[in-house]
Amino acid sequence: MHELGIVFHIIESVEEVATQNNIHRVSGVTLQLGEVSGILHDYLSDCWRWACDKNDLMRGAELTIEEIPAITYCEACGRQYPTVEHGRTCPNCGSGDTYLIQGDEIMIKEIAVPDEDECAKIS
């Protein structure tokens, strides 16, 4: 279950941002997950709740997951297509000369702080 390791990494990143910005409590984190990242949302959410309950900064913080669709680019015809639906073979020209251009990433989009309207954003 690599989801727990990912959660620990996210929490460490949030702790760094919190320290840099004098934040003492986090109410939520928005995470962008690629459609083919290999991360299981349910496991990630379970690990999130477990790990946050053990961390004063993160206790009770909500996790919001936004899925980034997987898109593949075809070198042969120069077109893009949905990866999950068509795999590695281009549905437009039949070429296998393709590569993933998005959909396997894991990024923290926002860190929400209680009683504040603003979110710290990591780019």
Residues 6+ apart with CB under 8 A from 40: 3
Annotated binding residue 86? no
Residue 74 labelled as part of a binding site: yes
The answer to whether the annotation marks 77 as part of a ligand binding site is: yes
Contact in structure between 39 and 104 (CB atoms under 8 Å): no
- Annotated binding-site residue? 90: yes
Question: Residues at the annotated binding site for Ni(2+)?
Answer: 2
Question: Residues at the annotated binding site for Zn(2+)?
Answer: 74, 77, 90, 93
Question: Residues at the annotated binding site?
Answer: 2, 74, 77, 90, 93
